[in-house]
Structure 1
Amino acid sequence: MTQQNNQLGIMLMILTTFIFAMQDGLSRHLAGNYSVFMVVMIRYWFFAAFVIAIAVRKAGGVRAAAATQHPFLQSFRGLLLAFEICVMVTGFVLLGLVESHAVFVAYPLLVAALSGPILGETVGWRRWLAIGTGFVGVLIILKPGMGVFSPYALIPLLASLMFALYGLLTRYVARFDSSATSFFWTGVTGAVAMTAIGVWFWEPMSLPDWGWMIALCFTGAAGHYTLIKVYEVAEASAVQPFAYLQLVFASLVGIFVFGESIEANVAIGAAIVLAAGLFTFWRAHLAQKRASLL
């Protein structure tokens, strides 16, 4: 992989995080006025159409994309991501973008902590120390035991745990299925599940909000498309740290669009979590490099 390709991948990752931050802002606006289940359902209709359109263009078509050795795990992954999105969007409405993302950014630490029992990977003491430090940062954000603590702050933490589990299961099924297959099952399973729930929460939407809904659907498809391109042109180790920029972009949307503010404890805690996450990623990258040399 050339440095030029990695530079392109970094630029695409920055664009991807920006698109996803815009998507989060749109989700917060719509879910503040309509049912979260309905908003996510419509978003998944577009997502499913997107992944099916991609599958049709590939060799073997939909049949090849749907072929999997682990249909139960692939279905569970799709359900997990769909419900994680519902939980996270609920957090956007109740807490705002800034605090929700400050807590959610802990998911790489949860991935590292759970990679041992789920994937059988070895986690050294340095990474365990980073994981513990990161969760100190989360506690600083949440401020448990203090009068201002809100139980709503646990919502993005639950979303973070769900997304970490989704990421670990994605890594596990990647041992058997292609990324195209996992992508297909993610979109289709999520659409089926959200339709089964969301139709019961249907309510009329104003014409301007339908415009925002269409924008939400397009940003979702665009974000997934650019993310696919990121990993096609660059090494994961070069681009993954830049995924944290979604916290920055989403916070800016929260501040300038929704009038949110950044409390001192949130800024300090998020900085600790970010530093711990980057260190954890760096140690995992070193371990992977050593294993490849053996």
Structure 2
Amino acid sequence: MKGLTISLLASADSTEIIHHKLEPNTRWGLEPEEGWIALEYIFILSGELKLLTNDGFTIYKAGDSFYRGPVTEHYLFQSIGTAEFLYVTSQPVFHRYSQVSKDLVKLAISIEQKDGYTSDHCGRISKLSMLVGEQLALDSQQLLRLNMASFFHDIGKVKIPLNILLKPGELTEEEWMIMKSHSIYGRQLLEETKLPLLKNVGEIVEQHHERYDGKGYPYGLTSDDIKIEASIISVVDSFDAMTTDRPYHKAKSREEAISEIIRCRGTMYAPEVVDAFISIQTQMN
């Protein structure tokens, strides 16, 4: 993910020692995986990490450690300032995850730039989505998947022809049907990695254009049939789209965009998500 730098320091007999550097407010997590029996150990070198727990947060500082063997729950860490730590695992993961993740990050950023956004669009969506998720008191598993899904939400656009993706005018009905396929393509791309975490966020990516009233796509899901993480991305992505200059429209003001989201509360957007989003916006004033 953007904001995360990792390097393999040593490996032997399936054990790996991996250095991690997290930029401020970057999230990193562990999740259980079927058949995975590794010991996973974290040693904080500098900075601080906070771990979401049922009782709030636990803070880990330089010299502190955390381990599980094997991981049986979801754990989501967030850096406080810049943080560095050693991650030791008794089963190899570095090459399995690092290259695929790097390639997907580059792909996601390149697609957003082609679609008329700046390179930090994915990061903005992820950051604001996580604030809304925390406001809604999502659990660690939901937050971990929201973190990934919000960053990769539009990755399926890589399969959309550029003449449609970059068309400055209104799309024809046929072109619009092709464009709407990007959410399905996104799920397929993530599932093709065969990485459990990315496969698990594919369904969220596929649903992020569904609407609370059932008039969204690709499947016309309604209210509780839509994953809460997808409902969050829907609101945040709409807000960012409205407040960003694009090839086919000028940016609305922040106030205009918020008013539009409130107007669509209960139709396009889940009411509880809109309420949490507005609460976050109020706190940011």
Return the TM-score normalized by structure 1: 0.27
Query: Which structure has the highest helix share of the two?
Result: 1
Tell me which of the two structures has the higher relative contact order, counting C-alpha pairs closer than 8 angstroms and 6 or more residues apart: 1
Return the TM-score normalized by structure 2: 0.28
Query: Which structure has the highest strand share of the two?
Result: 2
